[in-house]
Amino acid sequence: MDITHLSVFENKCWVNGVWISSEETLEVKNPLDNSVITEVPVLSDEVVLQALTDAEIAQKSWKNVAPNERSRLLRNWFDLLMQHQDELAAIMTVEQGKPLREAKGEIAYAASYVEWFSEEAKRGYGDIIPTVPSSEILVFKEAIGVCAAITPWNFPAAMITRKVAPALAAGCTILVKPASETPLTALAIAKLAERAGIPGGVFNVITGSSTKIGKIFTESPIVKKLSFTGSTEIGAKLMAQSAPTVKKLSLELGGNAPVLVFNSANLDQAVQGVMDTKFRNAGQTCVCANRIYVQSAIYDEFVAKLKVKVDALKVGNGLDADTDIGPLINRKAIQKVEEHIKDALSKGASLVTGQTENTDGNWCIPTLVKDVTQDMLCAKEETFGPFAPIFKFEQEQDAIAMSNDTEFGLASYVFTQDINQFIRVSRGLEYGMVGVNTGLISNAAAPFGGVKSSGIGREGSKYGMDEYLEIKYVCLGNIN
Ligand code: SIN
């Protein structure tokens, strides 16, 4: 499919209200066949530095735009994103690989952050705190200033809007560096922000070297806040680089999500929940099930039912209507899946369905393995692909202990019909998010984020807005 003729297609950068190109460029490839779709700019350090200065100037006006007006502009943007859902989804599928149905879902999910924060823009409430009669304690919430975001390839739209929408709602300006694999969705989104009337310099999309731009963002005293979604390794590096300029940070990093399926679970609901959380985006999701712990009494039946569903998954071109699993992003992603499967099998696990080697392009066949144990690689590392490892457990406390036996703490899932068990287990899990009897937890109204090495800060919900606001305390004395 040729996406270059679409009305939202763009391959220049959106900087300070101008579409700019550069001599040096970067190829954007279709993971389906590695063909080149187009090229995007590799912006020079000077251009990025100038963009930061311009964003600082723009912020001085933007923070004084009435909240109602900021809200209205965000709402315009939301409407345009939804009007262009099909075009945006096509661009996403072609550059990222995910099935069109999922890409459309992601555009709606991305737009929902813009809608949510268009409403929150009007609610930057402060406080008046009672104290001694002769004075008042006032708390103002103020925009933090110029922000920067570095976003991943697995959700090329939603990871941008859930950072940009609260930033703009709060009165901040922001520069986004999208993943080099998926800049076209980001640029298309920016095109619609322009059409929505969001002033130049307020939202900018810049492409180029991730390392160089990351260094500029983190070292610049202009950037007051950095938001990053990606690996724990890079997140920690960005955190260290940001230390000298003492930036506020939001980091959504790696996961290793456990799913706990108890004897009391509704089995069909649990099987569907695991399918939803494991195979969304071909398993390339930070909140994807990585370890599936199933209690012994239902173990065999659960594995049998899951096998039927996994066998029914259709691997193919994301543009085909019946595709469930598109190509993975690159060969490296497939090698990691294969490494985890082979390691598990070599240590005593058994193959239920699927395969250990995928030699054809970026295709990776969904694979189910049972009798997995804590010493295997897939128990320790995030697989980020369509591999479902099943572990057996006897006691509730064993499942909780095994789930928590990781440096990560992003999402976790529990399937049980026992109300006391759901409370006990939800409290026992050391995770930022717990899905109970569901495999789908993402929602603009909910606080998304992790604990431990999975990051800091929350995105979405009223808490997501606070990440872009500073608290100013004003002490009003001698008021008699
Ligand atoms: C992620 O994989 O980082 C985000 C997934 C989501 O928002 O549901």
pLDDT 10s digits, 385-413: 999 999 999 999 999 999 999 999 999 99
The strand pairing partners of 252, in sequence order, are 229, 455
Instruction: Pick the atom of ligand 1 nearest to 154's CA.
Output: 2
pTM value? 0.97
Q: Determine how β-strand 13-15 pairs with β-strand 18-20.
A: antiparallel
> What CA–CA distances, in Å, run from 76 to 10, 40, 160, 190, 400?
20, 27, 17, 13, 45
**Does the beta carbon of 411 sit less than 6 angstroms from any atom of ligand 1?**
no
- Annotated catalytic, 147? no
More confident site: 479 or 72: 72
pLDDT band at 479 (very low <50, low <70, confident <90, very high): confident
Determine which helix (DSSP H) or strand (DSSP E) holds 336, and give its type and residue range: helix 331-346
What is the per-residue pLDDT across 340-380, written as a single tens digit (0 to 9) for each? 999 999 999 999 999 999 988 999 999 999 999 999 999 99
Indicate if the pLDDT at residue 99 is higher than 90.
yes
Do 440 and 420 form a contact (C-beta atoms < 8 A)? Answer: no
User: Hey, whose CA ends up nearest to atom 1 of ligand 1?
Assistant: 286
User: What's the CA gap between 277 and 255, in Å, rounded?
Assistant: 13
| Predicted local confidence at residue 360, as pLDDT | 87
| Predicted local confidence at residue 378, as pLDDT | 98
Question: Tokens representing 175?
Answer: 């520069």
In the set 286, 288, 364, 378, the catalytic residue is 286
Question: Tokens representing 459?
Answer: 């995105």
User: Hey, whose CA ends up nearest to atom 6 of ligand 1?
Assistant: 442
What is the per-residue pLDDT across 411-429, written as a single tens digit (0 to 9) for each? 999 999 999 999 999 999 9
In the set 10, 102, 252, 382, the catalytic residue is 252
Question: Tokens representing 479?
Answer: 């008021």
| Predicted local confidence at residue 435, as pLDDT | 98
Q: Which of 39, 67, 45, 19 is nearest to 190 (CA)?
A: 19
Q: Which of 193, 191, 246, 245 is nearest to 219 (CA)?
A: 245
Indicate if the pLDDT at residue 312 is higher than 90.
yes
Indicate if the pLDDT at residue 480 is higher than 80.
no
User: What's the CA gap between 270 and 477, in Å, rounded?
Assistant: 59
Taking the mean position of all CA atoms in its chain, how far away is CA 69? 28
- Annotated catalytic, 252? yes
| Predicted local confidence at residue 188, as pLDDT | 98
Amino acid at 391: F
What is the per-residue pLDDT across 428-475, written as a single tens digit (0 to 9) for each? 999 999 999 999 999 999 999 999 999 999 999 999 999 999 999 999
What is the per-residue pLDDT across 1-33, written as a single tens digit (0 to 9) for each? 899 999 999 999 999 999 999 999 999 999 999
**Does the beta carbon of 155 sit less than 6 angstroms from any atom of ligand 1?**
yes
* 136-160: average pLDDT: 98
User: What's the CA gap between 386 and 406, in Å, rounded?
Assistant: 21
| Predicted local confidence at residue 355, as pLDDT | 95
Amino acid at 196: A
The strand pairing partners of 474, in sequence order, are 138
Amino acid at 167: A
